[in-house]
Amino acid sequence: DAGVTQSPTHLIKTRGQQVTLRCSPKSGHDTVSWYQQALGQGPQFIFQYYEEEERQRGNFPDRFSGHQFPNYSSELNVNALLLGDSALYLCASSLGGRFEKLFFGSGTQLSVL
């Protein structure tokens, strides 16, 4: 049973470009959350998708958007990339309940030059 899978593992972009990151949740999970982890810091919540809708959003600008597909997989899109967007982007999946455990993927390392 595969866990949470993310692609690509590494990505290099230049300022102003757009990027799409992908996530497949753990089998049986219907909720996907995205986190940004800057070097040396803890992950920060970007948003969460459930039933193909954004259910909750953290303190991130509208340049960050997402999507969830009927098979529960998800994409994170970032427009007009800034140098400060360089980070590890983590996808976590879970069942939708309040106390359900989050299972994290290994992340996509994004470098913006």
Which three-class secondary structure state does DSSP give residue 83? helix
**Of 25, 105, 110, 112, which lies in the binding site for other proteins, with binding defined by CB under 8 A?**
105
Residue range at the interface with other proteins (CB under 8 A); choices 12-20, 53-61, 69-77, 78-86: 53-61
Pairing of strands 19-24, 74-78: antiparallel
Residues 56-95 close enough to bind other proteins by CB under 8 A: 56, 58, 90, 92, 94
Q: How far is the CB of 39 from other proteins (least distance, A)?
A: 6
Q: How far is the CB of 8 from other proteins (least distance, A)?
A: 14
Who's near 35: CB < 8 A, 6+ residues apart? 43, 44, 45, 46, 89, 90, 91, 92, 104
